[in-house]
Amino acid sequence: MDLSNQKILITNDDGIHAEGIQLLERVVRQYCDDVWVIAPDEERSGASHSVSMHVPVRVRKVDDRHFALKGTPTDCAIMAIHELMDGPPTLLLSGINRGANLAEDLTYSGTAAAAMEGALLGVPSIALSQVFTPGEDVPWDTAERFLPQVIDGILKAEMADGTFVNVNFPAVGPDQVTGLHVVDQGQRPPGSFQPEGRVDGRGMPYYWIKLRYTKGQADEGTDLWAMAENAVSICPVQLNMTAMALKDRLRRQFR
């Protein structure tokens, strides 16, 4: 993997002190000296593509190329590219997220949103996530082993404008990985998020929104299927969300 001529921006949604972003920086610095880390000052998982429009974005400079922001992952991409870096990045890497970003997770994910913002700003962008099994250690060594191969292959494929790539490493050790698969975005059955009601010490009700993934068939060729196969999933994502088939049917109704 040759990243020697790149200017790389690293961000995430788990926060600047998260293990995944530190691993990502450590691996990338083996191939490139011009690396910038600009990330939230605390965990912002589930922030999706939100922007801080009603509160100021505060910036804490850690050193010349490390900045912690009180803001969302999207804020981090915007601030990095327009304000904090000494020139535009040639590659944005978002992650490595602690946990999956599969199927409809993309619509909630701050990790994916930072890559999405990079793509909107014309920067080739990759979102990276390490899947793990609850109650077990996160197999970071899987991401560490396959990361160079994944980044190298994606860059050689040359991403089109208005796209980014979403990568998930499976919840197994590196020796158990069965391959690297280019896949479609999957879809789980509805109902992954459910409210759970509780009562506080004053007798007032409140709720937690709990994540309960519903089980279903993982269609072959999707990111969910790749995880079931213990393979790395590589999913190209486009930002143009026009539903072309529905568009044609609507045109017939509104001629």
Residue 215 has a pLDDT of: 63
Average pLDDT, the chain: 94
Report the b/e string of 110-140 with b at 16+ CB within 10 A.
bbbbbbbbbbbbebbbbbbbbbbeeeeebbb
CA-CA distances (angstroms) from residue 34 to 5, 18, 31, 92, 233? 8, 21, 9, 12, 28
pLDDT tens across 188-200, in order? 888 778 899 999 9
| Of the listed ranges 31-35, 123-127, 185-189, the one predicted with least confidence | 185-189
Q: What is the CA radius of gyration of the chain?
A: 19
Residue 209 has a pLDDT of: 87
Residue 56 has a pLDDT of: 93
pLDDT tens across 224-234, in order? 999 999 999 99
First vs last C-alpha separation in the chain: 52
217 compared with 187, residue with greater pLDDT: 187
Give me the mean pLDDT over the 8-31 stretch.
Answer: 97
SS3 255: coil
Nearest to 76 by CA among 31, 152, 21, 12: 12
Residue 85 has a pLDDT of: 97
Yes or no: say if 133 and 169 are a contact pair by the CB < 8 Å rule. Answer: no
Give me the mean pLDDT over the 89-112 stretch.
Answer: 96
Q: Which tokens belong to 135?
A: 């109650």
Separation of CA 31 from chain center:
21
8-187+217-253 adopts what CATH topology? Stationary-phase Survival Protein Sure Homolog; Chain: A, (3.40.1210)
Residue 214 has a pLDDT of: 65
Nearest to 112 by CA among 154, 151, 66, 74: 74
> 163-169 and 180-182: which strand pairing?
unpaired
SS3 labels along 44-62: CCCCCCCCCCCCCCEEEEE
pLDDT tens across 73-83, in order? 999 999 999 99
